[in-house]
Amino acid sequence: MFSEDYASSKWCLDELVKILLDCKKSYEQMVRPVFYRVDPSDIQNYRGSFGKALANHECKFKDNMEKVQIWKAALKEAANLSGWPLLDEENSMGARGFVKLQKKLLREILKTKLKVANVARGITMIKEMLQYKSVLLVLDVVNDIDQLNNLAGECSWFDMGSRIIITTRDKPSNQLAGLYPGVAFGCMTC
Each residue's pLDDT tens digit, 154-167: 888 988 878 776 76
- Dihedral sign (CA 26, 37, 100, 97): negative
Is the pLDDT at 31 greater than 90, yes or no?
Answer: no
Give pLDDT, residue 135. 80
- What pLDDT was estimated at residue 90? 45
- Does the pLDDT of residue 55 top 90, yes or no? yes
- Residue range(s) in the chain whose domain bears CATH number 3.40.50.10140: 6-86
Predicted confidence (pLDDT) per residue in 85-108, tens digit = 655 544 455 777 888 889 988 987
Answer yes or no: are the C-beta atoms of 119 and 146 closer than 8 Å.
no
- Look at 173 and 153; give whichever has higher pLDDT: 153
Dump the DSSP string for 66-80.
HHHHHHHHHHHHHHH
Residues in the chain: 190
The mean pLDDT of 42-56, rounded to a whole number, is 94
Q: What are the C-alpha distances in Å from 154 to residues 21, 158, 172, 189? A: 51, 8, 17, 11
Q: Is the distance from CB of 4 to CB of 49 less than 8 angstroms?
A: yes
Q: Give the amino acid at 114.
A: L
DSSP letter (8 states) at residue 94: S
Could you tell me which CATH number the domain at 6-86 has?
A: 3.40.50.10140
Q: Which of 32, 54, 30, 31 is nearest to 42 (CA)?
A: 54
pLDDT score recorded for residue 173:
55
